């Protein structure tokens, strides 16, 4: 299936009729999520229950807590995973982390130096010939022109550890079933992470969601019921929440099966650190093929990914001793300190959930529970964290009585198309990764076809031992294409293959790490926003699979562009911040950015009045052109009185020829920009503010918050 067909294959705004479906552990009643009533307030209910204590669930709990919303987290495992798993944190996610009490700064301090992970290296062994390398960091990635922060390389379990510490600082407690702090019979008030609890059934009424959680204590399997206003399924790719509510996945299954080997070797780390530092090592030789992820060269922490072909192969074929031998074959020399920590199989999928919201807008899926990507490009965890960022302010708006339940439906409207796009881009990037072995004479599609023939064709009738021998023999013949006899410049075939390989690297057609245009430039086309009245909503752009630069803009649904600004005050020292920092990190607050013009001040007055009526916090930023003022302007105070929630800032240009703020936004200073609490643009006016400004701003806020649909 092509990329275009992949995207079109999803129904982006899927709706279902009300129904009740039975499930193995219980049932859930579901209604069409166009219902727009205000959620019935019941202070005895837990506001939010989050199922899953991975990075997505933990980030969502941090965001909700900072917005004043109490939540509890359930985790089926008795302890947090120590497997490195995801490790690339993209620009947008790092921007989110900047608002989480110093989390981004802690990651930057703790991650390996960028020169140790900026390259992907392709070789015959870790000590053998280098077939090519790709540097994925460009000079502009360090200049902080389009973002106030750079990408990071930081293992998932380390991120989880920091998030748990952050939550503890916010008053959360970690409760285990074996410890003295077990809460198996205590009422939940929010601020708890319950370890060892698995959600086994879900039921909904108009008033609440009831989750039944099972847990084992003193050898007995017990259950408890937890009632909440909202339930979030952030419980990973095999999401029990998704299964219980009967939401299906669409896309491509079983793209590839692999075995993941987590191991430590300081000797290997020291060698690679000194000789050929990199993040990923793609190793092709006649004995074994694998991809080595260097999570931390200094500490010597690695994960090896090896193709896996069950049922001819099984997990017993990858014991710790066998894995050590495979690692040595990939390294090309002896190592005495290999310590294999964990071996587990996994399957690569490319699927998106039919729905992200169900149960009368009471149940939502986040992260891998809603979408399963190939790891190529690192979109999985990043997309999930951005799901949480989109959802948190909407939940807070609903529970604080600012918005109706329909605002939660916009979570799916906005995030599902992004998930579909990122799935297609991940698949495209995965295919690009496969171009390298195919060029070397090892086409993975051929290997998969052979495997299918053995499984489903004539090979199926053969004894399992013979099937395995045939598979191993065919793969051994395939790997012979990597022999030094063939793969050298003096062999015409090898020379041709090596030339094609160099072309792939030079043209950027191999596996890519960064996608700035998609990372920072993704845009919501409809949802909690007001589209430009004179614009036709464009069709979703198809992914190219190549790195493209991000071009800032202020289209509704886009992320607010970054520019450094100086906060004007009457004090000698004035703080320089990013425009993204103008959006509050501790409360649900909209931001209206205007230029210091009479009509714009009038617009701000109207916005303040409407915001007060809707009980939604709003701040006005008066953004002055560079070199026009030096201190806080008394004019703003007079023109905005009696409203006091405003800030004067001035552009900080990098150079004389740098674009102004309004030019960066592709607008004029006569315009205005309304920014949501998640730093995405809710509405803009590209022209001078005239007419009935109060009515105009009332339409804007009612549309963004979802009240317009209630009145229509």
443 CB-contact burial (10 Å; exposed 0-12 / middle 13-18 / buried 19+): middle
∠ CA 294-505-379 to the nearest 5 degrees? 50
d(CA 286, CA 406): 58
d(CA 317, CA 202): 39
pLDDT in tens, 79-107: 998 888 899 999 999 999 999 999 999 99
User: Looking at residue 16, what is its pLDDT?
Assistant: 35
- Residue ranges of the domains in the chain? 45-112+150-250+351-415, 252-348+430-507, 528-705
Q: Which of 3, 505, 514, 515 is nearest to 282 (CA)?
A: 505
Angle between helices 103-110 and 156-169 (to 10 degrees): 140
535: Cβ–Cβ under 8 A, 6 or more apart, which residues? 555
Q: How far is CA 547 from the centre of its chain?
A: 18
CATH architecture of structural domain 252-348+430-507: 2-Layer Sandwich (3.30)
**What are the structure tokens assigned to 365, written together?**
């899926």
What is the residue whose two structure tokens read 């075939």? 493
d(CA 2, CA 468): 33
CATH 3.50.50.60 assigned to domain 45-112+150-250+351-415? The reply is yes
Q: How far is CA 455 from the centre of its chain?
A: 36
456: Cβ–Cβ under 8 A, 6 or more apart, which residues? none
**DSSP conformation class of 459:** G
Q: How far is CA 13 from the centre of its chain?
A: 21
Determine phi and psi for 19, rounding to 5 degrees: -165, 165
Cα–Cα separations (whole angstroms), residue 614 to 30, 526, 672, 695, 705: 29, 22, 20, 13, 9
∠ CA 246-36-33 to the nearest 5 degrees? 15
User: Looking at residue 446, what is its pLDDT?
Assistant: 75
State which residues of the chain have pLDDT below 70: 1-43, 179-185, 457-460, 534-541, 570-573, 709-712
* Terminal C-alpha separation, the chain: 41
User: Looking at residue 474, what is its pLDDT?
Assistant: 79
**What are the structure tokens assigned to 582, written together?**
């103008």
Helix ranges (DSSP H) in 400-491:
406-439, 444-456, 464-479
593 CB-contact burial (10 Å; exposed 0-12 / middle 13-18 / buried 19+): buried
Other C-beta atoms lying within 10 Å of the C-beta of residue 331: 22
132 CB-contact burial (10 Å; exposed 0-12 / middle 13-18 / buried 19+): middle
∠ CA 248-252-257 to the nearest 5 degrees? 110
Other C-beta atoms lying within 10 Å of the C-beta of residue 244: 25
Q: How far is CA 227 from the centre of its chain?
A: 28
pTM listed for this prediction: 0.91
Task: List strand residue ranges (DSSP E) for 568-644, in order.
Answer: 576-578, 589-594, 617-624
CATH architecture of structural domain 528-705: 3-Layer(aba) Sandwich (3.40)
Query: Coil, helix or strand for 32?
Result: coil
Task: List strand residue ranges (DSSP E) for 476-516, in order.
Answer: none
Q: Which of 178, 207, 176, 180 is nearest to 194 (CA)?
A: 176
d(CA 155, CA 353): 26
| Topology match between the domains 45-112+150-250+351-415 and 528-705 | no
Task: List strand residue ranges (DSSP E) for 446-568, in order.
Answer: 564-567
CA 680, 389, 250, 206 dihedral sign is negative
**What are the structure tokens assigned to 652, written together?**
């900080």
User: Looking at residue 479, what is its pLDDT?
Assistant: 87
């Amino acid at each position: 299936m092509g990329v275009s067909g992949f995207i079109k294959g999803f129904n982006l705004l899927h709706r279902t009729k009300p129904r009740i479906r039975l499930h193995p552990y219980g049932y859930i009643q579901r209604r069409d999520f166009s219902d727009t009533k205000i959620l019935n307030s019941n202070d005895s209910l837990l506001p939010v229950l989050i199922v899953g204590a991975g990075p997505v669930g933990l980030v969502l709990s941090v965001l909700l807590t900072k917005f004043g919303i109490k939540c509890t987290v359930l985790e089926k495992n008795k302890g947090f995973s120590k497997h490195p798993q995801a490790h690339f944190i993209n620009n947008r996610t790092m921007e989110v982390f900047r608002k989480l009490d110093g989390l981004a700064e802690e990651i930057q301090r703790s991650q390996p130096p960028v020169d140790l992970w900026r390259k992907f290296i392709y070789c015959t062994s870790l000590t053998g010939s280098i077939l090519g390398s790709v540097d994925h960091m460009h000079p502009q990635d360090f200049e902080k022109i389009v973002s106030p922060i750079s990408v990071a390389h930081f293992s998932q379990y380390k991120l989880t550890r920091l998030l748990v510490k952050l939550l503890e600082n916010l008053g959360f407690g970690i409760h285990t079933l074996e410890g003295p702090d077990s809460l198996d019979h205590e009422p939940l008030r929010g601020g708890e992470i319950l370890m060892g609890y698995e959600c086994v059934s879900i039921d909904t009424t108009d008033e609440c969601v009831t989750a039944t959680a099972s847990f084992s204590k003193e050898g007995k399997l017990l259950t408890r019921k937890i009632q909440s206003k909202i339930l979030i399924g952030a419980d990973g790719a095999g999401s029990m929440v998704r299964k219980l509510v009967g939401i299906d996945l669409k896309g491509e299954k079983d793209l590839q099966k692999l075995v993941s080997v987590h191991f430590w070797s300081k000797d290997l780390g020291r060698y690679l650190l000194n000789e050929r530092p990199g993040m990923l090592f793609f190793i092709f030789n006649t004995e074994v093929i694998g991809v080595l992820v260097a999570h931390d060269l200094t500490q010597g922490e690695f994960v090896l990914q090896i193709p896996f072909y069950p049922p001819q192969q099984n997990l017993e074929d990858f014991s710790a001793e066998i894995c050590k031998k495979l690692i040595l074959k990939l390294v090309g020399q002896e190592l005495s300190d290999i310590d294999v920590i964990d071996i587990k199989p996994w399957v690569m999928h490319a699927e998106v959930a039919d729905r992200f919201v169900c149960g009368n807008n009471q149940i939502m899926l986040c992260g891998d529970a809603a979408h399963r990507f190939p790891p190529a490009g690192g979109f999985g965890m990043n997309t999930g964290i951005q799901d949480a960022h989109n959802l948190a302010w909407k939940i807070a708006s609903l529970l604080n009585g600012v918005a109706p339940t329909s605002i939660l439906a916009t979570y799916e409207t906005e995030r599902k198309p992004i998930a579909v796009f990122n799935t297609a881009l991940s698949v495209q990037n995965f295919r690009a990764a496969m171009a390298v072995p195919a060029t070397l004479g090892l086409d993975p599609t051929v290997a998969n076809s052979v495997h299918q023939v053995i499984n489903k064709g004539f090979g199926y009738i053969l004894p399992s031992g013979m099937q395995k021998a045939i598979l191993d023999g065919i793969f051994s013949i395939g790997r012979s294409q990597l022999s030094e006899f063939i793969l050298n410049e003096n062999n015409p075939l090898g020379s041709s293959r090596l030339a094609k390989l160099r072309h792939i690297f030079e043209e950027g057609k191999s596996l890519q790490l960064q996608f700035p245009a998609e990372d920072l430039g993704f845009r919501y086309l409809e949802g909690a926003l007001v589209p430009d009245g004179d614009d036709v909503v464009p069709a979703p752009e198809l992914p190219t699979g190549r790195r493209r630069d991000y071009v800032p803009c202020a289209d509704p649904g886009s992320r607010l562009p970054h520019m450094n600004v100086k906060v004007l005050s009457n004090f000698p020292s004035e703080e320089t911040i990013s425009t993204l920092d103008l959006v509050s990190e501790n409360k649900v607050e909209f931001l209206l950015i205007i230029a210091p013009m009479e009509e714009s001040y009038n617009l701000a007055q109207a916005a303040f009045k409407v915001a007060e009526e809707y009980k939604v916090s709003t701040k006005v930023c008066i953004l002055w052109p560079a070199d026009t003022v030096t201190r806080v302007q008394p004019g703003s105070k007079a023109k905005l009185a009696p409203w006091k929630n405003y800030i004067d800032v001035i552009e900080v240009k990098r150079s004389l020829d740098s674009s102004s703020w309004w030019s960066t936004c592709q607008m004029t200073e006569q315009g205005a920009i309304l920014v949501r609490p998640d730093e995405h643009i809710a509405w803009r006016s590209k022209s001078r503010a005239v007419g009935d400004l109060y009515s105009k701003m009332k339409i804007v806020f009612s549309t963004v918050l979802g009240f317009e649909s209630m009145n229509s």
